[in-house]
Amino acid sequence: MGPVRMLLPSLRATARLAPGWGGPLLGAALLHCAAPVWVLLGPPSVARRSVWAAEAVTLYRPLVERARPEQRHLDALGRALAVHANTLVWSGRYAEAGAVADAALSVPGARRLQAVTACAVHARAQALVYGGRPEEALAPAQECVALYRGMTPPGRRDRALGGLPNALNTQASVFAALGRTEESVAVYLECAALLRAMPIRQSSHVLRLRPQVLAELVGGLRELGRYEEALALGPEARDVVFGVITRLLPDLVRPLHVRLLTDWAFCHSATGAPAPARTHAEEAVAEARTLDAQPQWLAVALNCLAVVLAELAAYDEQVSTLTELTDVYARLATDRPEVYEPLLADALDDLARCHRRTGDHFKAVADTERAVAVYRRSGGHEAQLARLLVNLSIRQEKSDDAESAVASAHEAVTLTRRLAETDSDTHRPLLARRLRVLARALGRAGDRTGTVACYEEAEVLLRDSPGADAGDLAATVSDLAVALGRAVLDRLASGRPEDAVAGLRSLLALTRRSDATDVHARCVTVFAQAHAERPDDIVRAWERVVGEAYPTFVYRRTDSRGLGANPAAR
């Protein structure tokens, strides 16, 4: 406990007995405690600093409300309000902090001292960005940076009010919140350089700042794909973030450990180094387990480890990791369902995918059904629900539950049709893919007509969508050719030659729309097979329906797998 803090009870008594000179003396002591000049050893808690600053404001208000207030009291009230605004930001009371910062800038008669003004503007910028209003925070963030750049080096007393590194950190945070990552990283780089060059006595005022800046910088570089630069900061970050500061500020620094380790894990993974990626991810999980009061960091670390294990094809370990991750998300969703229920659903989907890779299709279905149930409960996530229903259909088909696969795919298609009405560019290609999933499920269920109809609609959608993937169209046309061929042979076998002819004509028309070799080969195969199995029925039906002779492709069947190799046709 510092000597000034020890004197506070005596100074309060003095202020009561002699308010004329004791009040200002107590106010100066309170501001010294709320914004201490030297904070390296035993920094006071944010809550206590906020209480001291609020007490200083309360003390100075009566002094400036006199008929002829002294200038020093007016200036002191502005300083007290600026300090109080910053302590409110640190306490997470952003709306109050913004109001107090505005009050600090508008004390009637107070001189606009540069350090105090910059401190108040900085508090306003922080209150806005941390309060979820980054667009409004940009102007004050830039203003406070400009103020600090134009200032002479602050004196010992004003140094506690902040400086250019603090302002740069806030400006970088605003850029990051606005999605302007490149600008954010550039500002963080400047801030990190200033902090490296700062003498030890001055750096005590930014004890919290350097580890935070390095963590944000690594995260920004990773987001930009500058993985080697992010990894190159490893030695410095470990020295700063994992050193003695962990004992001084454990609540602040331990979450940064998790963040840095997960970022490095992803960077190693992106640069093709899975072994160190796994090491860092496992370190992050171990570190996160020490943060009992902040389980969200364990979720971050487990998610990272699950991704790394998937890349290593360590599916058994991934199942264990994802199972724990879903349990953590479920606990977090109890208090913040709007944030964690979507994450829980996606983690369950990942767990189902992992079960499918290990061959446990029934567990894959069960986990996907849980994920679907989470999105149904949450509401307002139609796009995500449609995606999971498609995955559920595929997994139900793999577990030989064709009826359920059809129902799930039908619902996914219905949802996607509705979404395509408002955003056709995004959802029409997705609708085509989901129609293909429904077609496969219908095929497994024996509905040849429904299968063909789905593939035909998917083809039309892809041909009418300018940005559609050519591979999707090729796959759809190929699948349609197969489905038409099966439908023709089924209709012919069930004594419906006219319906078989309709399928043959559709198949022939498909070859005119496509130059794919497999589609043309399928057409020739099906015509030849239909003729070989029911020559009289198919020829007469063709002549009745088309009014022409049945097309004869001079391909001689050689075995059950294909045709001979005489390519001439008549």
Rg (CA), the chain: 35
Question: Which pLDDT score, from 0 to 100, does residue 184 have?
Answer: 97
Q: Which long-range contacts (CB under 8 A, 24 or more apart) does 41-48 make?
A: 42/1, 42/2, 43/207, 43/248, 43/249, 44/5, 46/87, 46/90, 46/91, 47/91
Question: Which pLDDT score, from 0 to 100, does residue 187 have?
Answer: 97
User: Which amino acid appears at position 11 of this protein?
Assistant: L
The CB density around residue 361, as the number of other CB atoms within 10 Å, is 18
Question: Which pLDDT score, from 0 to 100, does residue 155 have?
Answer: 65
SS3 labels along 503-521: HHHHHHHHHHHCCCHHHHH
Beta pairing, strands 562-563 & 557-559:
antiparallel
Question: Which pLDDT score, from 0 to 100, does residue 336 have?
Answer: 94
Cα separations (Å) of 566 from 440, 488, 517?
33, 24, 16
Question: Which pLDDT score, from 0 to 100, does residue 388 have?
Answer: 97
Question: Which pLDDT score, from 0 to 100, does residue 558 have?
Answer: 42
Angle between helices 517-533 and 470-493 (to 10 degrees): 0
Q: Which ranges constitute the DSSP H helices of 94-133?
A: 94-104, 114-130
Angle between helices 497-513 and 535-546 (to 10 degrees): 70
Question: Which pLDDT score, from 0 to 100, does residue 156 have?
Answer: 66
Classify residue 316 as exposed, middle or buried by CB count within 10 Å of its CB (0-12, 13-18, 19+): exposed
Question: Which pLDDT score, from 0 to 100, does residue 564 have?
Answer: 38
Q: What 3-state class would DSSP assign to 557? A: strand
Euclidean distance between CA atoms 284 and 34, whole angstroms: 34
Euclidean distance between CA atoms 123 and 90, whole angstroms: 10
Euclidean distance between CA atoms 408 and 413, whole angstroms: 9
- Residues, the chain: 570
Question: Which pLDDT score, from 0 to 100, does residue 151 have?
Answer: 83
pLDDT digit of tens for each residue in the chain (570 aa)? 467 778 788 878 887 878 777 888 888 888 888 877 655 445 677 888 889 889 889 888 888 888 788 888 888 889 899 999 999 998 899 999 999 999 999 888 888 788 899 999 999 999 999 999 999 999 999 999 999 998 877 666 677 778 899 999 999 999 999 999 999 999 999 999 999 988 776 666 677 889 999 999 999 999 999 999 999 999 999 999 998 788 877 888 999 999 999 999 999 999 999 999 999 999 999 999 999 999 999 999 999 999 999 999 999 999 999 999 999 999 999 999 999 999 999 999 999 999 999 999 999 999 999 999 999 998 889 999 999 999 999 999 999 999 999 999 999 999 999 999 999 888 999 999 999 999 999 999 999 999 999 999 999 999 988 778 889 999 999 999 999 999 999 999 999 999 999 999 999 999 999 889 999 999 999 999 999 999 999 999 999 999 999 987 644 444 444 433 333 333
CB 37 within 8 A of CB 160: yes
The phi-psi region of residue 222 (left if phi > 0; otherwise alpha if psi is between -120 and 50; otherwise beta) is alpha
In degrees, rounded to 5, the angle at the alpha carbon of residue 49 between the alpha carbons of residues 102 and 105 is: 15
Euclidean distance between CA atoms 301 and 282, whole angstroms: 8
Question: Which pLDDT score, from 0 to 100, does residue 246 have?
Answer: 80
Q: What 3-state class would DSSP assign to 112? A: coil
